[in-house]
A = this chain, B = another copy of it.
């Protein structure tokens, strides 16, 4: 069993094209033995966003703090703490912080290879 605080993991800037004010920490990954899925923690600063993008991996998300929107080409959903979001494979999606504090969420993805 491995346990640690989230801030013991390095914080990296999300450099995806168009992303602003967003960092990621990989909490649980192949490095600590995970086999089929990985847990990451995102922080999006006020006004920051991850723009629409898509990929094979589906997402399971849980909002820890802050407020924002999760959007697809057809939907825009207000997200708040204690909400979960499921993004199916290949559905274009993005997130934006519409509040005045960091939007923080967990995002679990399959380890595809």
Binding site for B on A (CB under 8 A): 1-7, 27-28, 32-39, 58, 60, 62, 64, 70, 72, 75, 77, 79, 82-89, 91, 93, 106, 108, 110
The 5 A-B residue pairs with the shortest CB-CB distance in the complex, in nearest-first order? A3-B85, A27-B84, A37-B37, A2-B86, A3-B77
In the assembled complex, the Cα of A77 lies from the Cα of B70 at a distance in Å of 35
Determine if B5 and A86 form an interchain contact, defined as CB atoms under 8 angstroms apart.
no
The residue that A1 contacts in the complex, of B7, B33, B77, with Cβ under 8 A, is B77
In the assembled complex, the Cα of A106 lies from the Cα of B34 at a distance in Å of 16
The residue that A3 contacts in the complex, of B39, B70, B108, with Cβ under 8 A, is B70
**Neighbouring B residues of A2 by C-beta, 8 Å:** 85-86
**Neighbouring B residues of A27 by C-beta, 8 Å:** 60, 62, 84
Q: A60-B28, A108-B60 are in contact. Are A87 and B1 (CB under 8 A)?
A: yes
